[in-house]
Amino acid sequence: MKILNFGSLNIDYVYSVEHFVQKGETLSSDMLNVYSGGKGLNQSIALSRAGLPVYHAGMIGEDGTFLENMLKDAGVNTQFLYKSSEVRTGNAIIQNDKNGDNCILLYGGANQAITKDMIDQVLANFEAGDWLVLQNEICEIPYIVEQAHHKGMKIMLNPSPMNDRIYELCLDYIDVFILNEVEAQGLVGTTDDVQKLQSKLKEKFPNAEIVLTLGEKGSMYLGEESVQQEIYSVETVDTTAAGDTFTGYYLAGRLQEMSVKETLNMAAAASAIAVSKRGAAPSIPTKDEVIQFIENH
C-alpha cells in the first residue's frame, strides 16, 4: 500500500499584527516571517512525521525549491513534484493577531497550473488499495478523484478551503472526510445544530468515514458509534497548520491500525503542539513529540 498526497505547496508570508486589517485601514506589522506552507505540503509532512511513508505530487515555481527541500527533510518522497519555469509558486499572505488567530489570502500560482496529463503520469504509479489524500488548493480535483476511483484507490478529502469547486466532485467516491463545521454545513446544508449536522452527514455519506472538527469543542468521529475527543488546552500562538496536522495524524493513526479513540487522541495532541508554535510546516510535531506530550498531560 502506498500513500499519495496530491496537494498544494505555498510560500507563507506571515505578518504579526495587533488585529486583522479592516477595510480602508493601513496597519503596521510587528514582524514578518517567511515559512513553507500549503495545506498539501503541511499534510504530507504531518503524515511523514506521524510515521507513514508518503509521496507528494504537486507543482512549484523556480522560487519554491526550498519547499521541496522541506519535504525531503521531513522524509516525504518528492519524485512526483513538478517544477515550472513559467509560473511562480503559490503563496499565502497570513495575518496572525495577538490572540493567535489568523486570516489568509491565497495566490494559487503553480498550484493552479496542474494538468490532466501530469495527473495521468502520476497516477500511473499507483494501484487499487493505495491511498490518495486531497485538499482544495489545486486545480483539476474532480479529474483526480475520478481517475483515482477508477483505479480502485481509497480517497481521503479535506475540502478546504470550502468553495463551489467542491460541488463538482463526485463525493460518493470519497472514503474519508475530515471536515470542520463550515465545510460540513457546506456539504449538507446550513445548520447551526451540531447533532442535526452529524445526522445529515451520516445520511448523505453512509459509506464514508467522517471526522468532524469542532474547534474548542474538540472533534468527533461519525461511524456506527460516535467517538468524542476533547482538545488539549495549551497557549495558542499560531493556528495556521493545526487542521493539517490533525488530518495527517488522523489518517496515519487509522492506517497504523490504531483504534478511533487512540487516533483522535493522537491527532488532538499533535494539533495542540502545532498551535503552540509559530509557522505552518515548522510547527508540525514528530510522533515522538506527540507521545511525550500525551504522557505529560
Catalytic (active-site) positions: 244
Handedness of CA 153, 156, 161, 166 (dihedral sign): positive
Nearest C-alpha neighbor of 255 from the set 51, 45, 7, 75: 51
Longest dimension (CA), the chain: 53
Q: What number of residues does the chain have?
A: 297
Please give the single-letter amino acid code of residue 234: V
Tell how far CA 20 is from the center of its chain: 23
Asked whether the beta carbons of 21 and 27 are under 8 A apart, the reply is yes
Q: Kindly state the cell numbers that stand for 220.
A: 468527533
Q: Kindly state the cell numbers that stand for 259.
A: 483504534
Handedness of CA 114, 120, 126, 127 (dihedral sign): positive
Spell out the SS3 assignment of 154-168.
EEEECCCCCCHHHHH
